Amino acid sequence: METKQNIFTRPVFIVLCAVVVTALWGSATPAIKVGYEMFHIEAGDIPTKMLFAGVRFTLAGIMVLLIGFLTRRPMIPKKEDWVPVTVLGGLQTTLSYIFFYIGLTYTTGAKGSLFSSVNAFIVVLIAPLIYKNEHWTLKKLLGCVLGFAGLYLVTTGGEGGSLAGFHVMGEGFVLLSSACGAAGSLYTKHISKNRDSVMLTAWQLTIGGFVLMLIGLVTGGHLQMPGFSAMLLLGYMALLSAVAFGLQTQLIRYNSVSKITFYNLLIPLFGTVLSGIFLHENILTITNLLALLLVCTGIGVVNYQRQNRKTTIQGGKENAVH
């Protein structure tokens, strides 16, 4: 019988899980915007947005906790685990989604999905500075260049290089959210080696979500429950967070950080398509299609593996690794 480690290091299983994770995250962007409408949350009502986010992630954490207890996993953190779990929740849930929920108010679902891919670039570029088994490679760097080119194109609209399409409270906050998510991914790799990944997922969601709820309540947020369909949407959003975070934590635990997080570049593909379907955004423009082509090409480039060797760049020099 294969162990969990063997399963989560098999290439086919990695791709399958990573695609499921990115599809779920991609659906989150239009779901949040639809949620704003269904719960009657106005654009400037930031406290209620924080409360909305907090309820979602707290429910997600409780879902994972229940699953863990039902499968008899060790779900109560040890004394030395509380600080790392709380830091992870602060990075990957509280801070990341403060910026993300505000940012989505001031940008489209398609652009929000595209800019959420930046965390993958950040991880690829920073991971080699932290972990010895992570390396810059020519193909990874080329993939980053292609991805950033796609983001630049969708921001400027391809017109003279003007950044008029970039708004600090919109795309800028989504970028800050991505930076927090990247820091969370790197920190997950650091603390998950000798800890149960399901326990980490459950408590970082619960703690991070609870802090978001407190922020929303203290600052005057109030959430209405307008109907059954809104409750279903909130339940789906909580479930997608529980499943996506759980799978991603497992994948990061058993594989290199950049190998897993670079699949996050699929998020804009799913997010853009689903935004077109559910938000009725005009995604079939030349700019959007070229931007998607660039980031998807970046995925292909960065995940191309040679059979015998790969070229790494360390300290500014090229070295062949066999």
Nearest C-alpha neighbor of 114 from the set 302, 299, 288? 288
Return the pLDDT at 162: 46
Which tokens belong to 188?
Answer: 């997950």
Query: What beta strand segments (E) does the chain contain?
Result: 136-137, 310-314, 317-321
Q: How far apart are the first and last CA of the chain?
A: 31
Region 71-96 average pLDDT: 90
Structural domain includes residue 317: no
Return the pLDDT at 284: 77
- 4 φ, ψ to 5°? -60, -35
Structural domain includes residue 195: yes
pLDDT band at residue 314 using 50, 70 and 90 as cut-offs: very low
pLDDT band at residue 250 using 50, 70 and 90 as cut-offs: confident
Of 14-23, 137-146, 252-261, the one with minimum mean pLDDT is 252-261
Of 105-114, 119-128, 172-181, 204-213, the one with minimum mean pLDDT is 119-128
Q: Give the CA dihedral 310, 314, 318, 319, nearest 10 degrees.
A: -60
Chain-centre distance for alpha carbon 183: 11
Contact 298, 150 (CB under 8 A): yes
Return the pLDDT at 81: 92
The domain in which residue 246 lies consists of 4-135+154-284
Query: What beta strand segments (E) does 35-155 contain?
Result: 136-137
pLDDT in tens, 150-179: 878 877 765 544 445 678 888 889 989 988
pLDDT over threshold 90, residue 49: yes
Structural domain includes residue 144: no
- Helix (H, G, I), strand (E, B), or coil: what is residue 167? coil
The sign of the CA dihedral 4, 322, 12, 118 is positive
Structural domain includes residue 140: no
Structural domain includes residue 255: yes
pLDDT band at residue 2 using 50, 70 and 90 as cut-offs: very low
Region 24-38 average pLDDT: 90
Return the pLDDT at 279: 84
Please tell me which residue, 69 or 215, carries the higher pLDDT value: 215
Structural domain includes residue 309: no
Which tokens belong to 23?
Answer: 């599809």
Which strands form 310-314's sheet, in the order they lie side by side?
Answer: 136-137, 310-314, 317-321
Which residue has tokens 């991609």? 26
Contact 249, 4 (CB under 8 A): no
CA distances, 237 to each of 67, 228, 307 (Å)? 17, 14, 40
Domain count within the chain? 1
From CA 253, how far away is CA 198, in angstroms rounded? 11
3-state secondary structure labels for all residues of 100-125: HHHHHHHCCHHHHHHHCCHHHHHHHH
Region 91-110 average pLDDT: 90
Structural domain includes residue 304: no
pLDDT band at residue 1 using 50, 70 and 90 as cut-offs: very low
Of 31-45, 215-229, 299-313, the one with minimum mean pLDDT is 299-313
Return the pLDDT at 307: 38
Return the pLDDT at 147: 81
pLDDT band at residue 220 using 50, 70 and 90 as cut-offs: very high
pLDDT over threshold 50, residue 200: yes
Structural domain includes residue 240: yes
